[in-house]
Chain A
Amino acid sequence: MLDIKTLLILIPALPLVAAVLTAALGAPILRTRSHLPVVAAIALSSVASLLLLARMQEQAGQGRGGQETVSLWRWADVAGDGQNAARQEALSPGHSLSRDFRVDVALEADSLTAAMLAIVTCISTLVAIYSIGYMRGDLGYWRFFSYIGLFVFSMTMLVSATNLVLLYVFWEAVGLCSYLLIGFWYERPAAADAGKKAFLVNRIGDVGLALGIFLIWTTYGTVDFREVFAAAGNSAGDWRTTVICLLLLAGACGKSAQVPLHVWLPDAMEGPTPVSALIHAATMVTAGVYLIARCMPLFATSVTAQCAVATVGGVTALLGGIIAVTQTDLKRILAYSTISHLGYMFLALGTGTLLGVTAGMFHLLTHAFFKALLFLAAGSVMHAMGGVIDIRRLGGLRRRMPVTHWTFLVGCLAIAGVWPLSGFWSKDAIVLAVQQRYGSGAASTLFEALFVTATFGVLLIDFYMFRPYFLVFWGKERIPAVAGGHAQESPRVMTAPLIALALGAAGVGAYFAWTGSFARFLAGSPSLAGLGPAMGELPRSGHESIALLSTAITLVGIVLAAFIYLGGPQRAARLARAMNVIGLYSLSYGKFFFDPLYHALVVWPLLGAARLAAWFDRRVIDGLVDLFGWLPALVGAALRPVQGGLVQFYALAMMLGLLAMLGLLLM
């Protein structure tokens, strides 16, 4: 009775209903029980996603088609000129004045969607449960859960949309939810600003995506994924496809916080910590990765676009890692770490091979677990320490908060990629995919450079993750005064999700890498057909050497961090001084000065232009208008003396006029 179509509707519908219910009843009735509907709905929705996953696997096993679509209603249908020609035209891209603009509100499940749904809802469930404890006592308790429901709804709709317009709808809806959640404590100026910044930076990316959709429409005459991909297959090598891909990439950069649009993500820390976990691990930032994975048939036709994606990913991975090394706010370290890991995912997608895409998605999966874990553990620290998150003010917490400590350690090991935790497998897969790419295919020099970058990035990851770990949990016990009496382990409702996530972060990677089922399952998506051999089908030569290399680097990184940060502050200071010889420390600490740069180059000039325009409007344009208004009065004033009322003057004028007329007639 619960077939794929029903499940597909239920998954987004449950959180939506719960969100509306909470919004309506939260303040007057539910109050401190406001979490009930939303947590229950998201949990049910995650069960439904897992069921969906199972059904999809079943179907794939029976060799039936990998897609199921369910249409809800027609959003818009604007007839083009040649209505009958529309379908044929879709297959042969050309000029565009003859197509129907038809958009259905329809959902579609293939293996890519099913995987995303499962990741999103499962992580969200754990985060929502954790929030029960974290947000307890907040005045906006019901508001928070209502937003969370809306967020999960938007994200699940985003990954199951069948066409680009619907995707865009939820693309922006996710942005709105992040705006609401980041600015949740709206009375803090920093939070409200961060929310607005997130929305605006995202909107810049969104404009890129919108332009991409417009260009897709004018090129292919359709916005339906399937039709676009079918048409794209026929138009390989067209410059338009490359431009479309670059525009989609711009959109993905905004949502997935890639350089140069990454600036909103670190500020997003102003929101409640569970929100950070949700944004970083499951929803929001993965949307960009999903978009590119979904549009792989387009990217596959353009090497330029692939190189752009990979370069953006590589640069972001490196930059995020370098910045994370020197930050002092634990959540910001994690934020830059997210940026850098998303960079890895983009790098993998940029290879344009099935190997790369599955590696990227695999990393998305494992990252969701360990990043959610790390954020929630950080939140647990913050909760106990009275809101303090500066790693310089904390220390030696491992005895007071054993569960948080152990789960955080698991998260660190997983993110660092220590065998056999999940990060090891997915990062390995990415590095392998990049290596394979430069071995065969175009732009091999670029990918060789990116391979080196990715390998070096691994060192940074270990270092920047173990630095806060050692500082916060080891050394002398330092507890800020604001923590007061409640510097102790968090309640069970918060630690239980931590443990669940820790188990996931430890296990999923090994399970899927050994069985290979994740990659096999994903490869069944029609979006990823024809991209080359899958992970399991490759010769395993070279794999071991990469695994050994990255393990060696990992160990070096951890030992280095331990050496520097367990040994006392002077070692760290010495390192900072050494690094600053080439200015690297300042650059990293200043986050490469993106924010002041944008302020100087974009924000202030625009505000200046706005002032100028306002002045121009008031003085020049309105001045001219008033001048016109005065014109009749001026003319009147000039002519007024003529009407003097002197009869003799009128008689004289009359005579002169008659004479002049006569003169004219005679001549």
Chain B
Amino acid sequence: MAQTLLIALFLPLAGALLLRGNRDWMRLGSLLVAVVVLIAAIVMAVRYKECPEGGFAYNDFTWAGSLLDVHFHIALDGLSLWLFALTALLMVVAVLVSWEAIAERTSLYYRLLLILETGMLGVFVARDIILFYVFFEFTLVPLFFLIGIWGGPERRRAAAKFFLFTFAGSVLTLLGLLSIVLWNYYEPSVDPALRSLTFSIPDLTEALRNHPMDPTLQIWVFLALFAGFAIKVPLWPLHTWLPLAHVEAPTAGSVILAGVLLKVGAYGFARFNVAMLPQATAALMPWLLWLSLAGIIYGALVALAQTDIKRLVAYSSVSHLGFCMLGLFAVNRLSVQGSVLQMVNHGLSTGGLFAVVGMLYERFHTRQIAELIGLARRLPRLCFFAMVLVLSSIALPGLNGFAGEFPLLLGVFQRAWAEPAPANWLQLRVIAVLSMSGVILGAWYMLWMYQRVFFAKRKGEGKAEGERGVGKAAGRNTIVRDMSVREMLCLSPLLVMIFWIGLQPSFFLDRMAPTLNDLIKPAMEAVERQRMNDGRSRKSEVRNASSGERLRISSFERRTSP
């Protein structure tokens, strides 16, 4: 299985180097590569539980000598598994949406796309900090060119902004990552003779669990990591590169950007900030939650005011990622599992919506909602696909969005309503309740957009009687064709996943649960300790409480104390 992982990771890169020929060969070859990678990902996801440690690992290649212990170490665990699979899936979608849309310099285009795939897959499987960082930066370059060459009219500005913004942040991230490594190296409790400058992520996680960093230092390192990851996510108010990049990017670029690259930031938060810096996570929790909440509401409000459908979807991403971060930073099992599932869900629904926007653009050469009106009759199939994606995006129960959002919010509430209440209980509860407004606003802007684009009636088409009267309607664009087989093939896998996750999330949650529970354990304990301290300082209140209450608290203390 480890070989499968290795092949899946490097096949796209090999494809990028080896594929040559005209447009037809390039796109066929790329599709083949993407499909093979997807199959590999599916095989690994299905057989994931057979693996005793709960992950596939490949680790027998060392770069440097004894001092710099840099390994080529890749592995799949519960956190990376579904993001890896999502990347593989969305790459197939990306190749298929580019099929007709990209006519110029196709050879370069598909090569960049494939290089990008290796970069993204690498981020999720790298288990060595240097390797992680290489892949992390590696994703920037191909996307920079994809936006800069095949983008819209303002592509240069968008590409530059995207690159500089994310690059500026990631320099600080590197600093943070290196300080973790160095801190571990100079840890006094370790015998100097046995010291090695390890960059291994699992080793560092384990080491920091045994001898955590100094809390103040943790906060600084947290903030350094935060700079890069928060821009990637993007957390409010570092999001402004996103709408521009999305609007200007070619469709495949938007699909990948929203579907995968935003998750790289969230993944980094989970892998490094939460897992390695538990005290800082606990201490900064209210701030992080406020930022996430701001993203949820602000993103939804700005989306409501958009007239460009692509911008609307882009801002909806800000709102959705706000939910993901809310769940992650609430550090408890439900919310974190919901959050990771929601990352995948967002990739499916928003990736699909961007593909739909691309399909509309190919037909009508506009993205203005006001100009795209009443398409349901002319594009019934697209209307159906778009409806499922929209409903998934607004978290309709039975579809995937709900399966992520519900546990996520449940976990956030559990955190906010924990007893004995932490000192900041009021803040947490206000955040938890306010986050629900995102659910309403999300339905509002999405349905508003959907209604305008698909349901409203074009002037001069049909009669007031609705369907009964329509027949000889004629508009300027009546010959527009509905979805082709290729386009349906492109969106169908997304729909299958949307229904599958929605109907049986346990299949997905079960596979990620062990890793995630282990990953957030230190942070959860840190939060719990803080809470119990708060609880103890308010003993007098407890004494006044009813006897039942006292009983429960004492039983809780018994259970949580070692």
Contacts and interface: CB of A to CB of B under 8 A. Distances in A.
Contacts of B303: 610
B414 interface: yes
A98 B524 CA distance: 12
B187 to A, nearest CB: 29
B332 A97 contact: yes
Contacts of B306: 614
A432 to B, nearest CB: 38
A73 B410 CA distance: 21
Interface string A243-282: 0000000000000000000000000000000000000000
Contacts of A629: 161, 164
B235 to A, nearest CB: 12
Nearest to A197: B447
B483 interface: no
B407 A78 contact: yes
Contacts of B333: 78-81
A609 B391 CA distance: 24
Given A76-B403, A165-B406, A200 B439 contact: no
Q: How large is the interface on B (under 10, 10 to 19, 20 to 34, 35 or more residues)?
A: 35 or more
A203 interface: yes
A577 interface: no
A613 B334 CA distance: 32
Interface string A196-210: 100110011001001
A77 interface: yes
Interface stretch (A37-45, A137-145, A346-354, A444-452): A137-145
B506 A218 contact: no
Contact of B506 (A76, A85, A179, A610): A76
Contacts of A138: 467-468
A606 B301 CA distance: 8
A621 B451 CA distance: 30
B376 A186 contact: yes
Given A97-B418, A101-B410, A170 B397 contact: yes
Contact of A96 (B419, B456, B461): B419
Contact of A614 (B305, B407, B436, B455): B305
A207 B391 contact: no
Contacts of B467: 138-140, 185, 187
A200 B440 contact: yes
Contact of B410 (A191, A214, A621, A622): A214
A219 B549 CA distance: 12
A614 B302 contact: yes
Nearest to A101: B334
A172 B403 CA distance: 13
A518 interface: no
Contact of A196 (B407, B439, B448, B548): B448
A88 B115 CA distance: 54
A527 to B, nearest CB: 22
Interface in B261-306: 298, 301-306
A610 B420 CA distance: 38
B396 interface: yes
A178 B486 CA distance: 33
A183 interface: yes
A95 B556 contact: yes
B331 to A, nearest CB: 11
Nearest to A77: B506
A595 interface: no
26 contacts: A73-B506, A76-B407, A79-B333, A79-B517, A92-B548, A92-B552, A101-B334, A101-B407, A138-B467, A140-B467, A165-B406, A168-B406, A172-B398, A179-B447, A185-B466, A187-B376, A189-B457, A193-B451, A204-B440, A207-B440, A210-B406, A210-B436, A215-B417, A217-B410, A610-B303, A625-B241
Interface of A: 73-82, 85, 92, 94-98, 101, 137-140, 165, 168-173, 176, 179, 183, 185-189, 191-193, 195-196, 199-200, 203-204, 207, 210-211, 213-215, 217-219, 387, 606-607, 609-611, 613-614, 617, 621-622, 625, 629
Q: Which 7 A-B pairs have the closest CB atoms?
A: A185-B466, A169-B397, A94-B552, A95-B419, A614-B305, A610-B304, A218-B417
Interface of B: 161, 164-165, 237, 240-241, 298, 301-306, 332-334, 337, 374, 376-377, 391, 396-398, 402-403, 406-407, 409-410, 413-414, 417-420, 432-433, 436-437, 439-441, 443-444, 447-448, 451, 454-457, 461-462, 464-468, 470, 503-506, 509-510, 513, 517, 528, 548, 552-553, 555-556, 559
